[in-house]
Structures are given as C-alpha cells and as structure tokens.
C-alpha cells in the first residue's frame, strides 16, 4: 500500500526524504518545493508522523534506559529504578520520543560498542542508571557520540551530564538524626567503595560524626541488597558489639540489618536504631517502619528526561551535575538512646 509521503513524492517527482523534510520542518528543501509539498499535503489532509520524521532525519526517536543486569530483578520490579523510569516515561509522554528499556549484561559491558542498540543506532540518546555501571564502559559508550546522561552515578575524572540525589546531604541528615537521639556508637553498611552514590553517602555519615569527634566503623558488601545487608551487619556487629545505631546506604541493606538483628534477639529500636536511604515502598510496610531518607525518584526521572532532550536538541551543551533535594522521614525504627 502506497503511503501519502510516497504518493506526494511520486506526484511531484521528488524523493520520499524531501517530502518528509518539508512535512516536518527540516532543512534541505527549497522554499518553492516546500510550499508545493505542503499544499498537496493539505489537500490530502496529511498529519506528520514519527515514521516520516525518521525517514528524513535517520532518527529512531528512541531513548535507551539502561541498567546493569541484576539476577532475579527486572527493570519494572526494581523499587528504585522502576520509579525513576516512570518519571522518565511521564516526561516523554508528550514528545515524539519513546523509551527503550534494556539491561547491560556482562557481555555488553565487556564490549559496549557492540551493544545492538548502539551498533545499529536504534536509539538517539541513552540514560545509564545506577552506580554499578563501570566507568570504563561509560567512557567506551561515549565514543559512540550518542548523547548520554547518567543517573545515580558520576565519573570521578571526566565531565558528563548526570542527575543525582543529594546523597551526602541526605546521609548527613540521617546521621545527625541519630546523634540528636543521643547515639554515639554508630556504624554504617555500604556497598562497594567505588560506587559513586555509596561513597557520597558514607561521606555524609562520616561528616556528621566527625562534628562530634566520632569515628564511623563500616562494613562493605559487593551488592546493596537485603541479603548483603544481613551479611554485612553480622560482620560489623561481630567487630563492634556495642553499636547502638546503624545507618545504611540504602533501604535494602537497612532492612537486611533489621532482619539479622531481630533474628539475633535484638529489639528494634529498643536495642538498636536503624536508618536507611531511598524510601522504597517496603520501608513503610516493614515492622517496625524504617526511618529513611526520601529520594524523589520520579522527580529525578523527569529531570534526567529533560537533560537528555536538551542534549538531543544541542549536543554541544556543557556537562552539568543536577542534585535533587532529599528529605528525612522519621519512622519507628529509631528512638532515643538512654
């Protein structure tokens, strides 16, 4: 079946691409030819489509939202990045762009430029979500010259546009909350030290404790899950059995610590106060409910969507880091230490 674009192109003896450029206000068509094409389109009651634009500009109108593969966790079921993704999708709903979701497997991270979305130019821009995407893979993907924005991550030595929550400031608020409750023996649970958000959150905890001349014992894990929180808590409490409070770099690790401490006979918060970070849905559903730092995840998604659209409009924009404000949410997992 012949499309209207093909019909107009045939009638006016021009290329399909020239017709599509005129219909979508793109350069490369003379004034006289543009008017002839638009006049015929009006007669045929034609409405421009994304397909037509793609024909003229080689655009896919796809924006990739990529996270690192996590065994047993799908993109839409992830309580943190699922909310961010929702914010991205809402912000793009009134544009011509759609979101393409994929996970970065081990093979992709070993050869990023062979990633099918990059190699075949299936996307016009990409959002890389999460601190667990290695810097070397990000630097390699930059070589593709596809506009890119990071979320919940940043590079240590290279400038790139990124959107993050105020990790250090939020962690400072959480630790100060424990200090105001008279806790002085406070430990921390963290994922890998080289993850940017982990490092910033630990820095915030340390800054608050340093104001009271207190050290921060810390246990690291290779992941930030409930299970790794349990394991890290056990290591930390074995070395520092007199701790009265725990601050974790995310809610999952905090909930893991809570589970392990309760299994060992401790009462939360009578024997141990625990603070998380992110405010995932499970934080308020747990018993006791988890005191945490609320990250406005949908707002972060909306912000990263606007940043990628701005880069698509002007790839030469200077890199910026956007910090989104966070909020301390006090629930029943913390109490005053007597």
- Round to whole Å and give the CA distance between 20 and 5: 7
Whole-number pLDDT of residue 1: 46
37 exposure class (CB count in 10 Å sphere: 0-12, 13-18, 19+): buried
Both tokens of 238, joined, read: 């074995």
pLDDT at residue 15 in the model: 83
Please tell me the predicted confidence (pLDDT) of residue 284.
96
What is the residue-wise DSSP string for 295-309? P-HHHHHHHHHHHHH
221: Cβ contacts below 8 Å, ≥ 6 apart: 189, 190, 191, 192, 228, 229, 231, 232, 253
Tell me, what's the pLDDT at 41? 83
- State pTM to two decimals: 0.81
The vertex-54 CA angle with 50 and 55, nearest 5°, equals 120
Name the pairing type of β-strands 273-275 and 245-248: parallel
How many whole angstroms from its chain centre is CA 110? Answer: 21
Query: Residue 165: beta bridge partners?
Result: 324
Question: Do the bridges between strand 327-329 and strand 292-294 make them parallel or antiparallel, or are there none, so unpaired?
Answer: antiparallel
Those residues with Cβ within 8 angstroms of residue 28's Cβ, 6 or more apart along the chain or in another chain? 18, 21, 56
| 58 Cβ contact list (under 8 Å, min separation 6) | 121
Query: 245, 178 in Cβ contact below 8 A?
Result: yes
Q: 39: which 2 tokens?
A: 């006049």
**Domains present along the chain, CATH in parentheses:** 4-57 (1.10.260.40), 62-165+298-326 (3.40.50.2300), 167-294 (3.40.50.2300)
Tens of each residue's pLDDT in the chain, 338 residues? 467 888 888 899 988 878 877 776 667 778 888 888 888 887 887 755 544 455 455 677 899 999 998 766 655 557 799 999 999 999 999 888 999 999 999 999 999 999 999 998 889 999 999 999 999 999 999 999 899 999 999 998 888 999 999 999 999 999 999 999 999 999 999 999 999 999 999 999 999 999 999 999 999 999 999 999 999 999 999 999 999 999 999 999 999 999 999 999 999 999 999 999 999 999 999 999 999 999 999 999 999 999 999 999 888 899 999 999 999 999 999 999 98
Q: Are 133 and 108 in contact (CB under 8 A)?
A: no
DSSP string, 129-148: E-TTS-HHHHHHHHTTT--E
Taking each continuous run of H as one helix and of E as one strand, the counts in the chain are: 14, 12
Question: CB-based contacts of 294: which residues, under 8 Å, 6+ apart?
Answer: 278, 279, 326, 327, 328, 329
Maximal C-alpha separation, the chain: 87
At 292, is the secondary structure helix, strand, or coil?
strand
Handedness of CA 258, 77, 147, 116 (dihedral sign): positive
Q: What is the pLDDT of residues 23-81, one digit of tens each?
A: 766 677 788 888 888 888 878 877 555 444 554 556 778 999 999 987 666 555 577 99
Q: What whole-number distance in Å separates Cα of residue 293 and Cα of residue 134? A: 26
Comparing CA positions, the residue from 106, 124, 99 lying closest to residue 68 is 106
pLDDT of residue 94: 87
Do the Cβ atoms of 141 and 148 come closer than 8 Å? Answer: yes
| CA–CA distances in Å: residue 296 to residues 51, 127, 170, 279 | 35, 18, 12, 9
């Amino acid at each position: 079946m012949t499309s209207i674009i093909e019909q107009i192109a045939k009638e006016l003896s021009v290329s399909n691409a020239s017709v599509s450029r005129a219909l979508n206000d793109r350069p490369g068509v003379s004034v006289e030819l543009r008017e002839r094409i638009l006049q015929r389109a009006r007669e045929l009651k034609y409405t421009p489509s994304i397909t037509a634009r793609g024909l003229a500009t080689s655009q896919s109108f796809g924006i990739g939202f990529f996270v690192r593969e996590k065994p047993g966790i799908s993109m839409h079921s992830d309580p943190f990045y699922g909310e961010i993704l929702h914010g991205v999708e809402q912000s793009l709903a009134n544009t011509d762009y759609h979101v393409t979701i994929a996970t970065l497997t081990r093979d992709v991270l070993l050869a990023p430029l062979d990633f099918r979305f990059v190699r075949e130019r299936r996307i016009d821009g990409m959002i890389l979500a999460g601190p667990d995407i290695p810097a070397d893979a990000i630097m390699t993907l930059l070589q593709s010259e596809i506009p890119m924005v990071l979320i919940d991550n940043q590079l240590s030595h290279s400038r790139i546009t990124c959107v993050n929550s105020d990790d250090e400031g939020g962690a400072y608020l959480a630790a100060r909350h424990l200090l105001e409750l008279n806790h002085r023996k406070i430990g921390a649970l963290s994922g890998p030290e080289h993850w940017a958000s982990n490092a910033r959150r630990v820095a915030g905890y340390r800054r608050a404790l340093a104001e009271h001349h207190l050290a921060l014992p810390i246990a690291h894990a290779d992941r930030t899950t409930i299970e790794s929180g349990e394991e890290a808590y056990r290591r930390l409490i074995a070395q520092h059995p007199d701790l009265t409070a725990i601050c974790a770099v995310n809610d999952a690790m905090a909930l893991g610590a809570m589970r392990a401490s309760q299994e060992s006979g401790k009462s939360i918060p009578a024997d141990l106060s625990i603070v998380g970070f992110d405010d995932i849905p499970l934080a308020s559903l747990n018993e006791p409910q988890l005191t945490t730092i609320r990250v406005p995840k949908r707002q972060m998604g909306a912000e990263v969507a606007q940043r990628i659209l701005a880069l698509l409009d002007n790839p030469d924009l200077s890199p910026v880091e956007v910090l989104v404000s966070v909020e301390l949410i006090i629930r029943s997992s913390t109490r005053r230490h007597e």
